[in-house]
Structures are given as structure tokens and as C-alpha cells.
Amino acid sequence: MLSLVIPVNTFASDADFTPNLQKAYAEIFKLRIQTGRELIARERPGNPFKVYAENYADMVELLNSEDENAFESLTDKEDERLGIIEKTDKKSPYNRFLRAELKIHWALLKIRFGHEVKAAWNIIQAYRLLEENQRLFPEFLPNLKSIGCLHILVGSIPENQKWVTNFLGLKGNIQQGLKELELASQDKIWGLESSFCQFFIQAYILPYNDKVNELLMQAVEAHQDNLNLNFLATAISLKVGRTEQASQLILKSPYNGSYLYFPVFELYKGEINLFKGNYQQAGLAYLSYIQNFKGKAFLKDTYYKLFLCSWLAGDEKKGLTYISKIPTVGSTIAESDKAAQKFYENYHKTSTLPNKSLIKIRLYFDAGYYEKALNEARNLSENTLYIPKDKADLNYRLARVYHKTEQLDKAIAYYERAIFLTDKYKDAQWHFGASAALQTGYIYQERNQKLKAKAEFEKAISYKRHEYKTSIDNKARAALTAMGF
């Protein structure tokens, strides 16, 4: 491949991606930020690769800390660093690539700190730089890492909004992006980051399967000192109901004082213990997150989880004190925080706590303990539940369990019932109908019943203002695109 032939010092004389800087980048990607910064400090000023590595380190630290003061103090660095790179040789593929990388870094930061419009402009600029670079240097592998992600992003946009991307000159689709990431994973420097992006997209936008999981675990095993990869694998394992796998990943984590402190590590420990019913240990982990994290993400959800820990352990009074904290902290950017805020508002309005068996069914399902979920569900039926939302919830949870255990006809029947009950109370804005339609669409997609799948995915998108709308819409759009609609 051309990228393996073109030397990385094809810029002007002041540009050189030295072995030392390559190692700095690799250390930062592993989350050994301090080691990376020490390596960067040895390099001469004005080297665009040094600027790139510095920016990368800043991005990782700020995404983790959510320190608004630190972000504001660094905002002037964006133009300053881009200016250094822009002065270098435009005949090198690294010129546009590094400029696009910085644009993407700052887009991620602007999204995290609530500047979405500015972030969108960064993404558009990055896309144009990468497209031009791809045209000029079609075999330059690193370019495919970033443009592959952007093609997937563009491909996830619904058909009725494509005019916006077409007007802006943004083109691409999910399958194209996945192929580009696969090719980019062969690059000797940015290959692992490309694989990281692939795993993230497979888990959070596309349906996750055993093959992807096997590849993820192989990558973790091959890079045992990479905390970033370990953390991603742990997060994905918890998301897809592989709690025992997550437990093993935590035990094998290389986490020590040489790595950046990640408060979210406490959340992972909390989730594992909550799923296992170790409520005291889970509570301690959640409290540690609250005490050590200085940002806003997941605070509402963490107080909701603290409520669950106390309430399920039999201490309702203590649990209620945690509920009262939910509206006073954090933000509602993350969907889990939106759900926690909605839970608080419902409790504040009705003074009614959820059905404990339903909560246990959900936790057992989320953990991947499907037999336990079914055993708990034997205590319930629609006739024993008096709140309409609980009836929809029960049907959706049972559908999910039957889906995961390959009892697909049963799953479809329960999904359809959840949709019917949700549609009966549309003003309540429950997520069960949208979630059930999405999952039913996946079943029909797997069976190659494309028209039925299309109808279900479009129905999933049609639901308004529920707390999981962003992720459900993105997944449904991705599925429609994959089927050629």
C-alpha cells in the first residue's frame, strides 16, 4: 500500500513523525497520557506531528475530565495548531490528513461541551479535507480511518434528510465506511485506532454479534497493555449483556498509576456488582464516581443506580434521598441521564415507585442472565399489573429475553403487544414501542423479509420525544441503509 511506501517525513524539513512521536501517539492511545507528554516534550517546536500528538493528548484528557475551565483555556490552540500544519507541504498526504484529524478532535470536544453547531462545521471541514486527500492519494491508508467513520455518520442520516448532506456535498454509506475502516486497520500506526472505531460502531450503531465479539476479545488479548481497548471492551460487554465477560476484563485490566485516571472505571464496577446483586459494593463504586468525577455526564444515572442499590437491598428511605438528588446534578445529554431525569419526574408527579419485579427482570436481562429474568417474570402477568406502563414494560422485557434466547416467534408476539400498549398511550412518550419496533425489524431483517423489516424500522423512527430516540433512530436508519432503502 502507498501509505507504507510514502515516508512520514514527506512534509517540509520541519515536519517529521519521528519514532519518538509515533511512540507518544501509541502511549496516548493506550491512555498513558503522562508518558506520551514526556515523549512529546523531547521534540522540537513547530513540528506538525508534535502538534498532532499534543492535540490528541488534550482531547483524551478533556473528554475524560469534562473540565470546562481547561477546555476554555485551550480553545485558542485549535487555530494556532492548524496554522502550523497548514504551512507545511501540501503535496504530502499528511497535510490534509492531520488538519482533518485536528478538526475531528475539536468537533468531539465541542460536542462534549455543548457547542454542537460549531462541531458540525468542524465535521464538514474535516470531511472535505479527507475527500480531497482521498482523491489525491487513493492508497493512503490512514485517511480511510477518519473518512470511514464520517461515511458511516453520513450513511446513518435518514432519507428524508439526505438533501442536507447532498447540499453540503457530503456523501457516503455505512457499508462503504466499514470497508474503509477494515482497510485502515492494516496501517502500522493508525491501524489499531481504526479497529477501535470499528468495534465502537458495531456495538453502538449496528447489531452486535458473536463474530464481532470474538474479534474484540482477540484484540484485547493481543494488546494487553492498552487500557483504552480494555475499557471499550468492558463497556461493550456491559451494553450487550455479557456481564461475566466484563468481570473478566476488569480483572485483566492493566489499570495502574501510569494510566490516566478514568472515573468511568468506577461505573463499570458499579454496573457489574448491581447486575450480580452485590448492592453494597455497587453503591461504593457509584459513590466513588460521584466523588471523583468533575464533569456532568452520567451523574443523574448514577444517582438513579444508587437508588436501586438501596431500594433493592431493602432500604427505601435511603433510596428516596438518592432520587431527590437526580434533578440537582449533571445534564441530560446522555440517554441514560435522560432516562433517570424522566424517572425522577414520574416519581415526583405520582409518588409511586416502580414494580420491583420488573426492575429485577430488566437488570437480569441487561446482565445477560436470561433464565433468572424468566424466573422472575413468572411472578407477573398483565392481570397482576395495574399501571399501563408496567404492562408495556413487561411485554417488552419478555420479548427481549425470548429474542436473545432465539425464541423468535414468541419474541415477535410480545414485541407486537408492547407496541400496541405503547400506541394506546402515545402521549406518555414511553420508549417501549420504538424499542420493540427496532428489535422486530432486526428479526425480519435477519429473515430477509425486507419489506416487513423496513416497516418496523420506519415505525421505530416515527415515535417522538422518548429518552432513547437518538440511538434508536440511528440504529434504525443504519439498518434501512444496509438494506438499500
Ordered DSSP codes for 165-225:
HHHHT----HHHHHHHHHHHTT-TTTHHHHHHHHHHHHHHTS---HHHHHHHHHHHHHTTT
> What per-residue confidence (pLDDT) applies to 172?
76
- pLDDT tens by residue, the chain, 485 residues: 334 344 454 444 456 899 999 999 999 999 999 999 999 999 998 899 999 999 999 999 999 999 999 999 999 999 999 999 998 888 999 999 999 999 999 999 999 998 989 999 999 999 999 999 999 999 999 999 999 999 988 877 655 566 566 666 677 788 899 999 999 999 999 999 999 999 999 999 888 999 999 999 999 999 999 999 999 999 999 999 999 999 999 999 999 999 999 999 999 999 999 999 999 999 999 999 999 998 999 999 999 999 999 999 999 999 999 999 999 999 998 899 999 999 999 999 999 999 999 999 999 999 999 999 999 999 899 999 999 999 999 999 999 999 999 999 999 999 999 999 999 998 888 999 999 999 999 999 999 999 999 999 999 999 988 889 988 998 998 899 888 88
Nearest Cα neighbor of 438 from 480, 405, 401, 397 is 480
* Burial class for 378, CB neighbours closer than 10 Å (0-12, 13-18, 19+): exposed
| Number of continuous H segments (helices) and E segments (strands) in the chain | 27, 0
> What per-residue confidence (pLDDT) applies to 6?
46
Give every CB contact of residue 256 below 8 A, 6+ residues apart in sequence: none
How does pLDDT run across 218-271, given as a tens digit for each residue? 999 999 999 999 999 999 999 999 999 999 999 999 999 999 999 999 999 999
DSSP state of 312: H
Domain limits of the chain? Answer: 207-262
Q: Count how many residues are written for the chain.
A: 485
> What per-residue confidence (pLDDT) applies to 10?
46
Residue 47 grid coordinates: 513540528
Q: Compute, in degrees rounded to 10, the torsion defined by CA atoms 315, 317, 319, 322.
A: -150
Amino acid letter at 448?
Answer: N
How does pLDDT run across 101-148, given as a tens digit for each residue? 999 999 999 999 989 899 999 999 999 999 999 999 999 999 999 999
φ/ψ of 464, rounded to 5, equals: -110, 145
Residue 138 grid coordinates: 487513493
Ordered DSSP codes for 94-162:
HHHHHHHHHHHHHHHHHHHTT-HHHHHHHHHHHHHHHHHHHHH-TT-HHHHHHHHHHHHHHHTS-GGGH
222-231: buried (b, 16+ CB within 10 Å) or exposed (e) per residue? ebeebbbbbb
The H or E element that residue 237 is part of is: helix 227-239
> What per-residue confidence (pLDDT) applies to 162?
62
Contact 49, 16 (CB under 8 A): yes
> What per-residue confidence (pLDDT) applies to 160?
57
